[in-house]
Amino acid sequence: TLTAPAPFADETSCQCRAPHEKLTIAQARLGTPVDRPVRVYADGIFDLFHSGHARALMQAKTLFPNSYLLVGVCSDDLTHKFKGFTVMNETERYEALRHCRYVDEVIRDAPWTLTPEFLEKHKIDFVAHDDIPYSSAGSDDVYKHIKEAGMFVPTQRTEGISTSDIITRIVRDYDVYARRNLQRGYTAKELNVSFINEKKYRFQNQVDKMKEKVKNVEEKSKEFVNKVEEKSHDLIQKWEEKSREFIGNFLELFGPDGALVGILPSQGV
């Protein structure tokens, strides 16, 4: 049972002390050494941590029968230098990874390119990442040397979800989110919204509130009319039933064969 977040590599005492014998992928899939799990490494930026990230880590964790998953997360300085600005800062991104159920250990300030020294330090057997060549830092594929060493195992990307997709949605619907956060108490300064736009958004919020009130009144009016119609129908039905009963009783008394015909005296001419 998981009861605590994954430890950071520089704070844990759970070091791999077993002899680090080089494994082939075939050997790892058949079964792991009896004295240790296969140590799998996955790295990334993990900005706006989402299900696509989690699924990739799930795949990395389940590549072999017994795996220990180390996840490297690049720092803000390194990420901004080679990839661009992030929404979440490095501390937030580290913490997001620590609370993913598939992660056994988090390596902060992970390197952009994996060196033999880094792989040896953390006793890494295999590196997991999607198989699309990752061009960066002057290289056509930063994992090329890992693939050539037979240490690369591919994972599959999750279609329809990515950090870039999420940011695109926010940019596309910027006005909607700005208005929402103004309603929730954020200031125009915090949202980097101009004075004119702030007034425009607040006016739009008021218009939307009025529309919602009108909609509610219309719905309640329809509900009231429907209830009146139902009551009217019930009343008409009951009146018809009672009127038929009244006419039937009247005919029983006063009709040609009614009970009162033999009682009343005949009228001579």
pLDDT computed for residue 178 by the predictor: 87
What residue type is assigned to position 84 of the chain? G
CA separation for the pair 61, 67 (Å, rounded): 6
pLDDT computed for residue 260 by the predictor: 57
Q: Say which CATH class 25-160 falls into.
A: alpha beta
Task: Tell which phi-psi region holds residue 32, choosing left (phi > 0), alpha (psi between -120 and 50) or beta.
Answer: beta
DSSP structure string for 180-208: HHHHTT--TTTTT--HHHHHHHHHHHHHH
Determine how many CB atoms are found less than 10 A away from the CB of residue 92.
Answer: 14
pLDDT tens for the chain, 269 residues long, are: 677 899 999 886 555 555 577 888 888 888 766 678 999 999 999 999 999 999 999 999 999 988 999 999 999 999 999 999 999 999 999 999 999 999 999 999 999 999 999 999 999 999 999 998 877 767 788 999 999 999 999 999 999 999 999 999 999 998 888 888 888 899 989 888 887 877 877 777 777 777 777 777 777 777 777 776 677 667 667 777 777 776 666 666 666 666 555 555 655 54
Determine how many CB atoms are found less than 10 A away from the CB of residue 66.
Answer: 12
Segments of the chain assigned to CATH 3.40.50.620: 25-160
Question: Which residues make beta-bridge pairs with 153?
Answer: 128
| Alpha helix stretches (DSSP H) within the chain | 25-30, 51-61, 76-82, 90-98, 116-121, 144-148, 163-172, 174-183, 195-254
